[in-house]
Amino acid sequence: MYTCTINKIELSFDDRGTGPVLLLVHGFPLDYTMWQVQIDALSARYRVIAPDLRGFGQSGVSHGVVTMKQLADDLAALLDYLSIREPIVLCGLSMGGYIALEFWHNFASRLRGLILCDTRAANDSPEAAANRSTLAQRVLSEGVHGIADTMIPKLFSQCTLQNNPSFIDATRQVIEHTKPHGIASAALGMAQRTDFTAELPRIECPTLVIVGQFDAISPASEMQQMAQAIPNAQFTIVNNAGHMTPLEQPDAVNAAIEEFLQRI
Ligand code: MLT
């Protein structure tokens, strides 16, 4: 892992391989390790960069609200730090996808392609936003205990929950090591995020939309509509996966990403 200081925060990131840049952005409340199999496989042909976002993993933590715009600005600053000027492919899962859409909105010329994985274009309903606020308060007053138990059943398919205890344990470890302010700040930022639904027809770069068949957080039907609204998008459903598709079915996800990267 490498570290750099950008936008007044220390950011930790992996940077492996050479070739066209693929930037992988993790979901909430996780860290870059969710992409380990993608990093190992895809760095044979591509330069794969996978940061721990502000507030997560080994990176520094901000207090208050951390917006998706702030997190997108951090990605742009990381690319600047690495002197990467050529357009890149940005792949985000769930919260990483919210950040990817925000990055597109602000830095479209820096994108050669987008990969939107188990994510949504819509913003939170008032009820969902209120739940995030409750979560933030709870985490700050009681700590992160209990968050993993609440989240894990929503993140994985039944099949993974029953057959892959090592994935579940690893994810639990990551969540339980996340700092309360990291979780609270990003939860409050997600509650304020922009609704990009009406903007999707303006995305010009080639886009790959990937979703797990049993995703309970960003359902396949909603992601299919998202793909249909993006002019140059390809839609892929991955069987026997829930929300954590890259972790649950890495071979299928790697094949879809490789095929996309070779085509664009
Ligand atoms: C994620 O996986 O990043 C979260 O489920 C996103 C969310 O809570 O909306």
pLDDT in tens, 163-205: 999 989 999 999 999 999 999 999 999 999 999 999 999 999 9
Phi/psi region, residue 97 (left: phi>0; alpha: psi -120 to 50; beta: rest), is alpha
What is the atom index within ligand 1 of the atom nearest the CA of 190? 9
Tell me how far apart the alpha carbons of residues 92 and 96 are, in angstroms, rounded to a whole number: 4
| pLDDT over 90 (residue 37) | yes
Tell me which of 26, 53, 91, 95 to substitute to probe ligand 1's pocket, judged by most ligand atoms within 8 Å of the beta carbon.
Answer: 95
Burial class from Cβ neighbours inside 10 Å (0-12, 13-18, 19+) for residue 123 reads middle
Higher pLDDT, 145 or 109: 109
Helices (H), 16-164: 36-42, 68-81, 95-107, 126-142, 147-155, 158-163
Which pTM does this prediction carry?
0.98
Percent of the chain predicted with pLDDT > 70:
100
pLDDT computed for residue 248 by the predictor: 97
Mean pLDDT, to the nearest integer, of 17-38? 98
What is the atom index within ligand 1 of the atom nearest the CA of 94? 3
pLDDT computed for residue 244 by the predictor: 98
Selection from 71, 69, 194, 70 nearest residue 123 by Cα: 194
| pLDDT over 90 (residue 145) | no
User: β-strands 233-238, 207-212: how paired?
Assistant: parallel
Mean pLDDT, to the nearest integer, of 222-233? 98
Tell me how far apart the alpha carbons of residues 39 and 181 are, in angstroms, rounded to a whole number: 28
Pocket of ligand 1 (CB under 6 A): 27-28, 94-95, 190, 217, 243
Could you tell me the distance, in angstroms and rounded to a whole number, from the CA of residue 203 to the centre of ligand 1? 22
pLDDT computed for residue 130 by the predictor: 98
Nearest-CA residue for atom 7 of ligand 1: 95
Amino acid letter for position 47: R
| pLDDT over 90 (residue 235) | yes
Mean pLDDT of the chain: 98
Could you tell me the distance, in angstroms and rounded to a whole number, from the CA of residue 204 to the centre of ligand 1? 25
Mean pLDDT, to the nearest integer, of 139-159? 95
Residue pLDDT, tens place only, 84-116: 999 999 999 999 999 999 999 999 999 999 999
Could you tell me the two tokens for 76? 């742009």
